[in-house]
Amino acid sequence: MIQLTAQTRIFVAVAPADFRRGIDGLAKLAREELDCDPFCGALFVFRNRRRTAVKILAYDGQGFWLCQKRLSSGRFRHWINGETTSHGTLEGHELSVLLRGGDPNVAKGSPPWRALQ
């Protein structure tokens, strides 16, 4: 089971991913494009070109989880803006808003008690 906590690191790919890729292909994207170790326990979020589906890759210490959400109608209108980088980061509540079709940039949460390391 994937659990979202305040300490969960969430990396979001700005550019669309080829959704024919499976776990190994997305782990390679996490390593090369997002410059992160896919075994670090973070969540990696990818979208398809048409913005109708999202895949989340996670490693739980024993193996990888690959989750997919495909919208029956509509598109994910709001996505991380990437003029300067190939990826962005989200907090847990922002990911929940994004997966429900909302704008994570305007999702207000309480400020962290202390900075995450």
Site of tokens 């305040």 = 6
Copy the structure tokens of residue 54. 């999202």
- Residues 21-45 as b/e (b if ≥16 CB within 10 A, e otherwise) read beeeebbebbeebbebebeeebbbb
What does each of the 117 residues of the chain score in pLDDT, given as a tens digit?
Answer: 677 877 889 999 989 999 999 999 999 999 999 999 999 999 999 999 999 999 999 999 999 999 999 999 988 887 766 555 567 888 888 888 888 888 877 777 766 666 655
The pTM of this model reads 0.84
